[in-house]
Amino acid sequence: MDDSVVEEELAKAVALNLLLVMLLTSLLIYLFVALAAPYVDGASSEFLSSIDADLLSKIEDNQFVGGRPFVTNQKLVSACSERLVQMRSQKKIDARGDARSVLTDFLFESDPHGGGRVRIKARIFKKYLCFSRRGRLISRTNGRSLQCVFREEPHNGRIKLQSAANPRWYVGFNKRGRRLKGYSMRKRKRRQPCYEFTKLPKIRHWQHRLQNEFEGFTNPRNDR
């Protein structure tokens, strides 16, 4: 027999053997996947469901721990004075502000330790709202102390700001917009609305301009 014919037959045999090996390997892989799929899907679905449940619970309770704080620009309207909380200077805090004033802009920083707690920082003066050791509302440059951390409590469509350092203390202002001591809320129940606030988003300058134009259009002055 010619050598070329022998080499050709040998090459065909090798190719056939390789093809059979590939088919058997593919069949084994297919059988392995088919048999293991129920266990893998069950474990993965159970794992994902546990992650989703934990994630949803943390989102609902705002209990994310670690990482950078989440910051929102908000304004606080006092239910007692019906005006906005403002930091007029580095030491003066009251609830007599106007919605158009930048002094009423506060940055709400979520606490990395979780629990739905926030730090409230004046956007202009870069100072935090804090409680003193005697329960008075003050401002501080460094907001790392627990006396500068608050917990938002929903109440009748509004919120209350409870001190994380002392749960008996709440941020409050009287009808004249003056600061109230944190512990006076439990002494006079009539003053409890003075410890309630409504959160408003920051109003931008172009929104002020549109509001002024709309008010001027709907309420024109009478010509004398």
* Residue 116 confidence class, pLDDT cut points 50, 70, 90: confident
pLDDT at residue number 11: 73
Residue 99, pLDDT above cutoff 80: yes
| Cα separation, 20 vs 110, whole angstroms | 63
Sign of CA dihedral 84, 85, 90, 92: positive
Burial of 161 (0-12, 13-18, 19+ CB in 10 A): buried
Q: Tell me if residue 13 falls in helix, strand or coil.
A: helix
| pLDDT score at 16 | 78
Write out the CATH class of domain 71-204: mainly beta
The tens digit of pLDDT for each residue in 6-58 reads 667 777 777 777 778 788 888 888 787 777 665 545 544 554 455 444 444 44
pTM of the full structure = 0.60
**β-bridge mates for residue 106, sequence order:** 74, 122
pLDDT tens-place string over residues 132-185: 999 999 999 999 899 999 999 998 899 999 999 999 999 999 999 999 988 766
Short-list 100, 93, 98, 101, CA closest to 82: 98
Asked whether the predicted pLDDT for residue 214 surpasses 50, the reply is: no
Domain range annotation of the chain: 71-204
Three-class HEC string of 17-55: HHHHHHHHHHHHHHHHHHHHHHHHHHHHHHHHHHHHHHH
Tokens of 147: 């006396």
Secondary structure class of 122 (helix, strand, coil) = strand
Contact 108, 76 (CB under 8 A): no
